[in-house]
Amino acid sequence: MAAHMFSRDRKVKVLATLGPASGSPEMIEKMYKAGVDAFRMNMSHGEHAAHAKNVKSIRALEKKVGRPITVLADLQGPKLRIGTFAKAPVELKTGAKFTLDLQKTKGDAKRVNLPHREIIETLEPGHTLLLDDGKIRLEVTKTDGKSVETKVIVGGPISDRKGVNVPEVVLPVSSLTNKDRKDLTFALDQDVDWIALSFVQRPEDVAEARRLIGGKAALLSKIEKPAAINRLEEILELSDAVMVARGDLGVELLPEQVPPLQKKIVAAARKLGRPVVVATQMLESMITSPTPTRAEVSDVATAIYDGADAIMLSAESAVGDWPIEAATMMDRIAMQVESDASYAERVHFTETVPDETTADALAAASYNIARTIKTSAIVCFTKSGSTARRMARERPSVPLLVLTPDRHTARRVGLLWGAHAVVTRDVSDFEEMIAKAKRMAMRHKLGKAGSRLIVCAGVPFGTPGSTNLLHVVRLSGNELKRG
């Protein structure tokens, strides 16, 4: 495989989590070759040294294959937990009373410590509390600011330090803990491309993270709290991308509420031209089995038909027995869905109305030109990546070749539907731009003699955010000889 000749044939991107099962240079390369476009470092697990080693391996692989590779650092966010019991586990009986309080003493079947004053002060009678990923369900009956008395709605065994979820309340908790702030500093020092923010409840959470990142990486907001859905538009406006984090959504909501919400989040993100990742349990059974269930395959396919930019492997690639097979399976499902004759129609089920800007008008025009006349690729020159995002939002039927002088932009584009980024020197005039577009399309096998290209750029060259030029050119086949 020649270094610069490698381009994927599919539009949807595959994001895989690195962990003990995949954290070696050999495994990272095998996963990349199996179809992984972007790698996720889960900051909830693993030491900084292990994450740093993985970033180093990815950057070495990037040099070897001559392609930008995307790295995403996923911050843990606040983890709310109960305290400990004198004798664990204790059995909570359905219908019994159970108190959560600020006392440090060890708990029993009647009470336990909840070391989060802000939660105890926020709860009111009628609110639901979920313990241990929703296995135990409590309803608040009385509060006095220091303790919360509840009735056990769904009982069962409970042990030390189990997680607490409060689905109906916006908690006065920042989505960034001290650990997150340290992890964020580390991730930015490692020059990662994306930061994923957990526990987003309101737009202010995103604004706070944005301030701390200071433009050094792109920001992806994880939608995992029901509170975030109520302010989805505002959160999307402030984010560079979003993730449908179905694991936590599925704890705080009923399971049957998650699929319609997934569709809603994907559609809202598509309308605003923000990349959207669908994540959690996509091929869950492949943690221990070399093949997925039919239902899992169907679930992955649904996310692709809905037009998600990326699909994600979590435990499957981080700690599973079959990381390469899981990546290969994602790739195969995507290729199959995208070759389905009805795919184009389904992916355009979400209507994306262009904003009243020249750049959006040109993106919509490019999509229509590609639909009307036979073209082999859309080539866009971009410094910031915003032209590429606008193009990808249209979900064109042909590949999107993104040419940028900025390595950071090229790497961030790795989560964008259909985009194939190449780092190349900026152009200074129209002739040079057309010549480069033709040469790059030929080199990356996105066109041959006689095929047409759509070229988009901004004039004057080198001015970010000024896309105002669209040109259709035909390849002669001699472009590579020249350069």
The residues carrying an active-site annotation are 40, 81, 222, 280
Tokens of 62: 């990037």
Dihedral sign for Cα 406, 412, 417, 422, please: positive
Report yes or no: 232 and 110 within 8 Å, Cβ to Cβ. Answer: no
Closest CA to 133 of 112, 162, 171, 155: 162
Closest CA to 123 of 171, 76, 86: 171
The region, left, alpha or beta by phi > 0 then psi within -120 to 50, assigned to residue 98 is: beta
Closest CA to 440 of 13, 7, 11, 1: 7
120-122-127-128 Cα dihedral, nearest 10 degrees: -50
Distances (CA, A) of 134 to 105, 128, 180, 252: 24, 10, 24, 7
Report yes or no: 461 and 433 within 8 Å, Cβ to Cβ. Answer: yes
CA 273 to chain centre: 14
The region, left, alpha or beta by phi > 0 then psi within -120 to 50, assigned to residue 275 is: beta
